[in-house]
Amino acid sequence: MKGFLDFIREQGVVGLAVGFILGGAVSKLVASLVGDIISPLLASGLKNIENLQGAYLQVGTAKIMWGSFVNVFIDFVVIALVVYFGVKLLKLDRLDKKKA
């Protein structure tokens, strides 16, 4: 058992597992926050845009869906902040054993 625990601590498995668990657990919450609160607020600040998700730039026959990209980017930033501060507040970053 000691060898297994050393392997987990030395290889950073704990940090990886925490990242996956927190990222998966908060993804729906963050998607709702961005889609239902942040995007409408941003769209109301921009003129002639009803929904930020559907905002696009027409270039010839192509539609550049910049609003969709902005939503995904905001999702990423919020998830990254939640994971970072979650790990720091729970002091999970101290579980990994540093190699000498």
pLDDT tens digits along 45-60: 877 677 777 788 899 9
Between 34 and 50, name the one with better pLDDT.
Answer: 34
pLDDT tens for 57-100 read 899 999 998 888 888 888 888 878 877 887 788 776 676 556 55
Q: Domain residues for 84?
A: 2-94
Residue 99 lies in a domain: no
pLDDT at position 100 is 58
E strand intervals along 1-100? 57-59, 62-64
Residue 6 lies in a domain: yes
Residue 38 lies in a domain: yes
β-pair type (57-59, 62-64): antiparallel
pLDDT at position 36 is 85
Question: Which H/E stretch holds residue 22?
Answer: helix 13-33
Residue 90 lies in a domain: yes
Residue 100 lies in a domain: no
Q: What is the CATH number of the domain that holds 24?
A: 1.10.1200
- Angle in degrees, CA 83, 87, 92, rounded to 5: 150
Model pTM? 0.60
Residue 79 lies in a domain: yes
pLDDT at position 75 is 83
- Structural domain count, the chain: 1
Residue 54 lies in a domain: yes
Interhelix angle 13-33/2-11, rounded to 10 degrees, is 50
DSSP state of 97: P
